[in-house]
Amino acid sequence: MSAPTVLVVGVGSAAVEAAREIVAQGGRAVLVRSLGSRKQCFLRIPSGIEVIEAELVGAEGSPGSFHARLRAPGGDDMVVDCSAVVLCPSTGDRPAGGAASLDERCAAEAAESVRSVAFVLPAGSPRPSFIRAVRAASELRARAARPSVAAFAAEMTAYGTDEVVYAQAQADGVLFVRTPEAEVSLDPPRVAARDQTTGREIEIFPDLLVMERRSEHAEVLTSGSFAVARGSPGMGAVATVREGILSPGPEYERLEAERVTGARAAATRAMTLAVHPEDRASRAAVVDRERCAACLTCARVCPFSAARPAEEGKASIDGALCQACGVCVGACPARALSLPSYAEVAEHEREIIMGDRQ
């Protein structure tokens, strides 16, 4: 029996970690990297992982039998058959105009003449941004010139071993100002804010101003192209609406340890579904075509886009997308929709198991 193929889409460390885990579990990992990404230059791809330079255009099918359509550099489409797909969203941020971008290399690039530095992270910044700023602040304070460093952020919490870095930065004299929004000017650089902890009004004129990137995040995970949505929080960290297409979440929202854990979880789930595909369709809502009035109320209310018009405009349910939540059943004015009973689902699964044994 050949090893199941799992497509991993992404250019960041989470994508590489997911592909590595798939190979470690005996699968065949195919890493699809978007064209022209700057991240491709910095990541080393371990042996045993196949790489395709292309864009993922779409993916159709079910666990164990997906058909992924890729667009090659020349514009030609190719189809790759796979058992599951792991989407590792990455970001295409650009620096805010007039200020340095928040990057771990910024401290090393700062000139020795810099005597004061300010890091500004607006409310809503990704959680990893804070610890990156703390590390950069510590590097600056360790220099012979000992520049003054201040960090303005709404979130002042480090996680796990990062707490040690935060504590060291405090001991080194880094000033942390907790504020939901700092007032920033670029010419000349100026930062003013009220510290929520002490109530003090703080105003500084730094030589170097480092700000969180403020552009749109370009994710590979979209709902239209791949008939997949992020799902609800209760569905788990690696769950998507379409079974067999998984995502550990965008890199910019997670800390390094979380990215590794999420990538491994997504890879493990993908391998499990590749070897033992689940039949989600047996749990999907059922349409009574005799009763269906083709009003398509179900299509309008379904939160997972599983209901759609079919022949004669009557409703059809995509079993791969349906979450059996019952919203369409309750909203249908003709009472044409129902959910299978537990006994029916159990009997269907028993028939599949007995069939496999034979």
Q: Is 225:216 a contact under the CB 8 Å cutoff?
A: no
pLDDT of residue 340: 83
Which letter does DSSP use for residue 306 in this model? -
pLDDT of residue 27: 94
CA of residue 258 relative to chain centroid, distance: 11
pLDDT of residue 237: 55
In the chain, domain spans: 5-92+217-275, 100-211, 280-357
Query: Under CATH, which architecture does the 5-92+217-275 domain have?
Result: 3-Layer(bba) Sandwich (3.50)
pLDDT of residue 223: 38
CATH topology of domain 100-211: FAD/NAD(P)-binding domain (3.50.50)
* CATH of span 280-357: 3.30.70.20
pLDDT of residue 283: 80
pLDDT of residue 152: 93
pLDDT of residue 104: 41
Torsion on CA atoms 102, 104, 106, 112, rounded to nearest 10:
140
pLDDT of residue 347: 56
pLDDT of residue 215: 42
pLDDT of residue 42: 53
Q: Is 86:18 a contact under the CB 8 Å cutoff?
A: yes
pLDDT of residue 37: 53
The reported pTM is 0.58
3-state secondary structure of 75: coil
For 57, 229, 305, the CA distances from 247, given in Å and listed in that order, are 16, 10, 19
Torsion on CA atoms 320, 325, 330, 335, rounded to nearest 10:
40
If residue 171 lies in a helix (H) or strand (E), which one and from where to where? Answer: helix 162-171
One fold for 5-92+217-275 and 280-357? no
Q: Which parts of the chain have pLDDT scores under 50?
A: 38-41, 92-105, 107-108, 214-225, 227, 229, 232-235, 345, 352-354, 356-357
